[in-house]
Structure 1
Amino acid sequence: MTTNLRLPAIEIDQGRGQRVYTFAVDAKLIPSFAAIHRAGRADDGRTLVGYQRPEVVKHIRAIADYIESDRPMIPNALTISFDATVTFEPHDLNGPVGYARTGDLVVPIPADPNLRPGHLVDGQQRTAAVREADVDTFPLACCAFITGNEAVAREQFLLVNNTKPLPKGLIHELLPGTTTKLPRVLERKRYPAELVAELNLLPWSPLHDRIRTATRPDGFIKDNSVLRMLENSLTDGALYRYRDPHTGQGDTDAIIELVTNFFSAVATVWPNAWDAPPRKSRLVHGAGIIALGFLMDTICDMAAEPGSIPSTNRFTDELRRVAPHCAWMSGHWRFGTDHVRAWNEVQNTSKDQQLLANHLIRHYIEAVRGTPASQIQPNAA
């Protein structure tokens, strides 16, 4: 059986068919009509569902302690996304005054919690704190919108949290599911994030389930390392030729083919280093992944037929040229006559990424052209 909760509200017309609703409600009631849609993967393993990060217990307890204090005040509003079962009944049928009108927001509370009409877009920690606090009631201000599209709720979640310390991994997973215009820093990462998701989800990809994300926490290659490797190549490398600089999109099939061919070759040439975790292998470490991306670009420039994508076998042959100069799991990196480091002293910093990339590129060019590595001055990063 479904009951209705009637909430006095103000409807604000923001133009272009967009309306938002402001109201107050006892936050103890919010779980009865709004769920927290946590980020995860559907049964098919590919489809991203939800968008919320996990609860932070210490943060919730701190807010709850404040709510239990003598004079608590939480002025910032929660954001809730409602589906079309929620309706607004205006008080004045003659129309709004200016941009707004008052009325009742009619929110159904179903007996089955799986049919709740709302999702909490912003404010899960505050709501959880009220739930845990030893108080009978605690009203909170809310701002809501009605939509049947989860992508809209996901986009609002990104926009609301853009200036907050949202985990980067969660941002990267949410970006491919958005379509609205985002701040430039996020807009630039949307297509590379889509590629990261594909590389991690495709069963035949050498990176399948190896990239650590919010919904794939068992991966051991950091998503940000793969993202940066792709960004570098899309900006000024082998993948640039497959990208439309005006739209930011690209020939995804061709890009995926090139990257999977390359990393399949990496796995063939260095199988032990490819299967080891970063603490035991600098190949799957951030510095290694980013440096290998620059080497991939160089191989495509020097060894690929114009307009063609090198096969896995071709990449394998080219990578074997630099294999004697690599110390992914043991030994020393010999970056120069007076610059020798133990294999695990290479760190995931911009300086070391460039150092490692230039080392690989110099020895590759030496093997192809015969020019001594000491005389080659690449500038990979």
Structure 2
Amino acid sequence: MATATMKKRTTAKSANKNVKVLRLAAIEVKQGKNRKLYSFAADGKSLHDFCTISRVSRQGEEGLEGYQRPEVMAHINQIRAYLESENPLLPNAIVVAFDDTVKFKPDPGKAGTDSPFSRSGVLEIPIDNSIIEEDKPGWIVDGQQRSAALRDARISGFPVCVIGFLAEGLEEQRQQFILVNATKPLPKGLIYELLPSTGGKLPMALQRRRHPALLSERMNFDEDSPLHGMIRTPTNGTGVVADNTILKMLENSLTDGVLYLYTDIEDQLKLLKHFWSAVAEVFPDAWGLLPRKSRLMHGAGFISMGFLMDTIADRNRKTKSLSKELFKKELMPLKEVCSWTEGSWEFDGGNILKWNEVQNVPRHIQLLSSHLLGMYRELVWKK
């Protein structure tokens, strides 16, 4: 889809006779089997003539768009003040992903004089001020804050180093964005939200989180999900349950619980929707509230209920269908012993905590999980 869109943009641009071409001296560097990088200098004030910053957003039910984080104004203002100082220096290159309207023309006069890995020439970048921002030929993968500071700084011009590469579509741009930013202080939630729509090879730690992230995305945006719109992410700031809480619950079940037994994502989602729909109906007064008002929607409560989901599924593993009705029947006896929004929890060993004293820490998660599983065995399993 992304590649097809880029082709349409390419055709539209090429048909526009008013397009100006910016020609910049560049060095082409070969990497891998068939990848090429282009190193060149450009006036930082003109970057936005041919580059856009694609911020992460969602358009209705159309899915994730873009891949950049929102601008951080404090950081931009610091860079801007530095650029307006007496003798500034920006040694780090800005990384830009280009579409195929950008062309490299090698210098014929330098044939045979370049190294096996590089050659000099001219990079030709089309500039069309009539097109919308998203259709510009370049996307800034790394250097958003610097480019914004250069744009806003009260200076006449400032040359910067730029590294460009040709990208086949949004998926590759997202992959490069994650790889570039994974080791930087980038919000983890942003990386996790990008994972489901990112292809290619990623670090092992991110590979392991890709499937839980996809399940979380589906639970958040499927219309028939009991958690529809309720998982808080960088593009859904009004959600009540933290995305990391959902991921932790899913990872536990995928590793050692009921989700491990299913290989098809639709079967996994069906079970998850049945269980959490049952939870919502058994505990309606605690469902959908902010964590400070309901420990059911809190990290400790959600993760603990995930362990209970696995236990109920294990007890009923011979049942043909783990339906919502079955989960409701199994959960109902626990309704009177759960203090999600008021009262106190009476844990084993004389540990008593007020409902809102339960925190999202390993000790409290263990206490709450053991309590719920113990009550389930006493009130349901043994009967």
TM-score for both structures, normalised by structure 2: 0.92
Matched, 1:305 2:322: no
- Cα separation, 1, equivalents of 2:188 and 2:63: 19
Amino acid in structure 2 at the alignment position of 1:109: I
- Cα separation, 1, equivalents of 2:285 and 2:275: 17
Which of 94, 109, 112 is the matching residue for 2:127?
Answer: 109
* Per-residue deviation, 1:160: 0.4
Amino acid in structure 1 at the alignment position of 2:75: H
Question: In structure 1, the residue corresponding to 2:291 is in which secondary structure?
Answer: coil
Matched, 1:260 2:273: yes
Q: Could you tell which deviates more after superposition, 131-140 or 288-297?
A: 131-140
For the Cα contact (< 8 Å) 1:92–1:102, is it kept in 2?
no
Which of 121, 124, 137 is the matching residue for 2:157?
Answer: 137
For the Cα contact (< 8 Å) 1:346–1:352, is it kept in 2?
yes
Question: In structure 2, the residue corresponding to 1:273 is in which secondary structure?
Answer: coil
Per-residue CA deviations over 1:153-187 (Å, capped at 9, x if unaligned) read 11000000011111122111100111111111111
Amino acid in structure 2 at the alignment position of 1:220: V
For the Cα contact (< 8 Å) 2:95–2:143, is it kept in 1?
yes
> How large is the RMSD of aligned CA atoms in angstroms?
1.4
Label 1:309 to 1:142 Cα distance change in 2 as closer, same or farther (>3 A).
farther
Amino acid in structure 2 at the alignment position of 1:303: N
Amino acid in structure 2 at the alignment position of 1:98: P
- Cα separation, 1, equivalents of 2:215 and 2:377: 29
Runs of 4+ in 1 over 6 A off after TM superposition: none
Cross-structure match for 1:37: 54
Per-residue CA deviations over 1:336-377 (Å, capped at 9, x if unaligned) read 252111000000112211211111011111123439xxxxxx
- Cα separation, 2, equivalents of 1:369 and 1:292: 16
- Cα separation, 1, equivalents of 2:296 and 2:67: 31
Matched, 1:358 2:373: no
- Cα separation, 2, equivalents of 1:46 and 1:334: 46
For the Cα contact (< 8 Å) 2:49–2:129, is it kept in 1?
no
For the Cα contact (< 8 Å) 2:275–2:324, is it kept in 1?
yes
* Per-residue deviation, 1:199: 0.7
Report the number of matched residues: 362
For the Cα contact (< 8 Å) 1:258–1:309, is it kept in 2?
no
For the Cα contact (< 8 Å) 2:182–2:191, is it kept in 1?
no
Per-residue CA deviations over 1:18-65 (Å, capped at 9, x if unaligned) read 11111110110011100000011134x242110101001110000111
Label 1:369 to 1:173 Cα distance change in 2 as closer, same or farther (>3 A).
closer
Which of 350, 361, 371 is the matching residue for 1:338?
Answer: 350
Cross-structure match for 1:279: 292
Label 1:138 to 1:340 Cα distance change in 2 as closer, same or farther (>3 A).
same
Gaps of 5+ in 1: 243-249, 372-381
Q: Could you tell which deviates more after superposition, 189-198 or 162-171?
A: 162-171
Cross-structure match for 1:167: 187
Matched, 1:28 2:84: no
Amino acid in structure 2 at the alignment position of 1:352: H
Gaps of 5+ in 2: 1-17
Cross-structure match for 2:106: 90
- Cα separation, 1, equivalents of 2:382 and 2:237: 44
1:63-78 equivalences under 5 Å are: 63-78=79-94
- Cα separation, 1, equivalents of 2:258 and 2:121: 58
TM-score for both structures, normalised by structure 1: 0.92
Cross-structure match for 2:76: 60
For the Cα contact (< 8 Å) 2:51–2:140, is it kept in 1?
yes
Percent of matched pairs sharing the same residue: 47
Cross-structure match for 2:4: none
Matched, 1:158 2:171: no
* Per-residue deviation, 1:97: 2.5
Per-residue CA deviations over 1:188-242 (Å, capped at 9, x if unaligned) read 1011001111111110100100001111111111111001100010001010111
* Per-residue deviation, 1:309: 4.1
Cross-structure match for 2:144: 124
Matched, 1:18 2:31: no
Which of 116, 130, 148 is the matching residue for 2:168?
Answer: 148
